[in-house]
Structure 1
Amino acid sequence: MRRNLLLCVDAFGTLFRPRSPIAEQYGMVARGMGVKISDDEVAKSFRSAFKETSKAYPNYGKATDMGARQWWTEVITKTFQPHHQGSLPSDLTPNLINRFWSKEGYTAFPDVLSYLQKLSAQPSRLASSSPRLVVGVITNSDDRVPDVLSSLGLRVNHLRHGSKVEKEAGQEQEDIDFCIMSYDVGCEKPDNKIFDAATSLLSSILDSEGSVYRKEDWELLYVGDEVKKDAQGAIDAGWDAVIVDRGGEKDMAYEGDAPGVEGFMDVGGKKVPILKNFEALGTYGGHYLLASE
């Protein structure tokens, strides 16, 4: 019997990446406003500011009710103030925050938009479909990921960890059904809890549709670009895992045996496929629900 599939993907480094190194973008914006600082100085100061702010206000400020935008204001101020006499330009912080909340700071990998948009048109995405395909995001991030993805051209549902799920009649099918962010959950991958948050939200979605989540009826598949946080975390949580090759070093134990499959890694006793791109998801392992054509 064919089973339903919950497909979840990582965001940073898997779906999108910075348009150019973050220190370069920070430096360019700051110099354009009169702050004299090199990219190397930005990189060094940013690392220190990020570490200091993370220690004082964990989880992007969520733990102290600061909020992510104010948290980033702290990081930006601590990054540039040591290199500038007097007050920083008033537009510097909001400019940088807005830049990295949108496509101005990030770009999607070439294979992402077309594949996810084609998946959203598949009959299996409909609530009435059997078997069913649901697509989500699980990422270590603050709460800006849905805005970044929307800015890049994807249709993203507002649902996230902690959301109240209500049935919405006649709603257009989104490319992303929900986003699970460490900011909301309070822990990061590879912690099992962040993966459990995804299946919990799936259960709530099905409840709103008059259905029931039964673990035995669903395959759980996670796609990322890192071995420890993504593949190992997913496997430890009881999911299957796939690595999309975004240029990092991969210790392949076996060669590929299907179109788009570069090879396999041994992770936690499981063979984890390393795929050339998202299109290969539809050709490996019998996950027929992921075929986009």
Structure 2
Amino acid sequence: MPRCLLITFDAFATLFHPRRPIPELYASVARSHGLNDASITPATLQSAFKTAYKAESKAYPNYGRDLVLRGEYGGPKQWWTAVIKSTFANALNQPDLQLPGGMVERLIETFASREGYSLYEDVEPCFDELIKYKVHQSEFDCVVTGAVSNSDDRVSAVLRSLGLSVGRTRADEDRSSTLLPGFEVTVSEDSTDRGLQPNDIDMVITSYEAGQEKPNQLIFDVAARQADRLLSAEKSTKYDLNDIEWTRIHVGDDFAKDYQGATNAGWRAILLDRERTFTDT
């Protein structure tokens, strides 16, 4: 029986982190657009951002995906626009605040690239070794790598901007991810699986596209199914895709969402405790 390995990683706080604290970046962009009110400080923005993010998450879970599917909501762009506007309105205590033109778009662009994020120092060496492992190991007949993230579809753009090679496979729950309004611009040719290529990350599965956030089992099931789909597109595949023994491993920093979510879905899990939250005392 063929043996295959699927190893996936959480994105934010596992593979990459903000280049500067998010409130500092918000304040910097605000100043560059002429919003110089003394109340616009990282401290006030941090509190205001948390309030706005929590409120939007409650009102429109998973970037309003259910409403998006009914044609009643605009998806991540509308979601983040509301968070940004509410953040500054809360910070300035001006509910009807009108932000300078282009400011919202600038912030969204910042957090879709290396302007907003940096890789952790151990990430590139990790994927360098994984690429070698894919080629030279003999334990598995194939190795598939992925990112599984509670996020919108900017993750792949962030990873590419940080120098990682990213495959084209995305989630496809309910509707093709290419039909959901989001940030990633694709065409039909780009959305077609082309089998396993020499990528650092073969597939990106986000909660917005998959339909549920971790720790829900659905997002892990979608990742497992898409790994099968990648193999089915691999022209060199010479074995029955229904007769594969999979080893599935997920790596992440959140105990409940990543570790427990993966184990409850029948995967193996590795908790990457970057903040040393679970260090013995």
CA–CA distance in structure 2, aligned partners of residues 87 and 228 of structure 1: 38
CA–CA distance in structure 2, aligned partners of residues 168 and 110 of structure 1: 30
1:1-12 equivalence runs, <5 A = 3-12=3-12
Pair 1:168 & 2:194 matched: yes
Q: Which residue of 2 aligns with 1:94?
A: 105
Q: Which residue of 2 aligns with 1:288?
A: none
Pair 1:156 & 2:166 matched: yes
Deviation at 1:124, TM superposition (A): 3.9
CA–CA distance in structure 2, aligned partners of residues 104 and 92 of structure 1: 15
CA contact (8 A) 1:124 1:131 kept: no
CA–CA distance in structure 2, aligned partners of residues 81 and 10 of structure 1: 32
Q: Which residue of 2 aligns with 1:58?
A: 61
- Residue 169 of structure 2 aligns to a residue whose secondary structure is coil
Q: Which residue of 2 aligns with 1:225?
A: 253
Pair 1:181 & 2:206 matched: yes
Shift in CA distance, 207/43, structure 1 to aligned 2, threshold 3 Å: same
CA–CA distance in structure 1, aligned partners of residues 232 and 2 of structure 2: 21
* Structure 1, unaligned runs of 5 or more: 254-293
Pair 1:74 & 2:77 matched: no
Q: Which residue of 1 aligns with 2:182?
A: none
Deviation at 1:167, TM superposition (A): 5.4
What is the total number of aligned residue pairs between the two structures? 251
CA–CA distance in structure 1, aligned partners of residues 193 and 151 of structure 2: 27
Shift in CA distance, 115/39, structure 1 to aligned 2, threshold 3 Å: same
Deviation at 1:104, TM superposition (A): 0.6
- Residue 135 of structure 1 aligns to a residue whose secondary structure is strand
* Structure 2, unaligned runs of 5 or more: 69-73, 177-187
Deviation at 1:17, TM superposition (A): 0.6
Q: Which amino acid aligns with 2:198?
A: Q
Q: Which residue of 2 aligns with 1:265?
A: none
Shift in CA distance, 229/125, structure 1 to aligned 2, threshold 3 Å: farther
Shift in CA distance, 106/185, structure 1 to aligned 2, threshold 3 Å: same
CA contact (8 A) 1:221 1:241 kept: yes
Shift in CA distance, 46/130, structure 1 to aligned 2, threshold 3 Å: closer
CA contact (8 A) 1:166 1:208 kept: no
Deviation at 1:116, TM superposition (A): 0.8
Shift in CA distance, 229/33, structure 1 to aligned 2, threshold 3 Å: same
Query: Which of residues 136, 139, 151 is equivalent to 1:141?
Result: 151
Q: Which amino acid aligns with 2:220?
A: F
CA contact (8 A) 2:169 2:193 kept: no
Deviations 1:201-242 (A, max 9, x none): 112122223554447611111111121111111111111111
CA–CA distance in structure 2, aligned partners of residues 130 and 219 of structure 1: 9
CA contact (8 A) 1:202 1:213 kept: no
Query: Which of residues 219, 242, 249 is equivalent to 1:194?
Result: 219
- Residue 157 of structure 1 aligns to a residue whose secondary structure is strand
Deviation at 1:182, TM superposition (A): 0.7
Answer 1 or 2: higher relative contact order, Cα 8 Å, separation at least 6.
Answer: 2
Shift in CA distance, 107/70, structure 1 to aligned 2, threshold 3 Å: same
CA–CA distance in structure 2, aligned partners of residues 22 and 53 of structure 1: 17
Q: TM-score, normalised by structure 1?
A: 0.77
Deviations 1:70-129 (A, max 9, x none): 211111111113526863111210110000011111100001013213422445499xx9
CA contact (8 A) 1:23 1:42 kept: yes
Query: Which of residues 30, 41, 46 is equivalent to 2:44?
Result: 41
CA–CA distance in structure 2, aligned partners of residues 160 and 30 of structure 1: 34
Q: Which amino acid aligns with 1:155?
A: S
- Residue 166 of structure 2 aligns to a residue whose secondary structure is coil
CA–CA distance in structure 2, aligned partners of residues 250 and 6 of structure 1: 26
How high is the sequence identity, in percent, across the aligned residues? 40
CA contact (8 A) 1:154 1:176 kept: yes
CA contact (8 A) 2:167 2:201 kept: yes
CA contact (8 A) 2:168 2:192 kept: no
Q: Which amino acid aligns with 1:131?
A: D
CA–CA distance in structure 2, aligned partners of residues 181 and 75 of structure 1: 19
Q: Which residue of 1 aligns with 2:272?
A: 244
Pair 1:235 & 2:260 matched: no
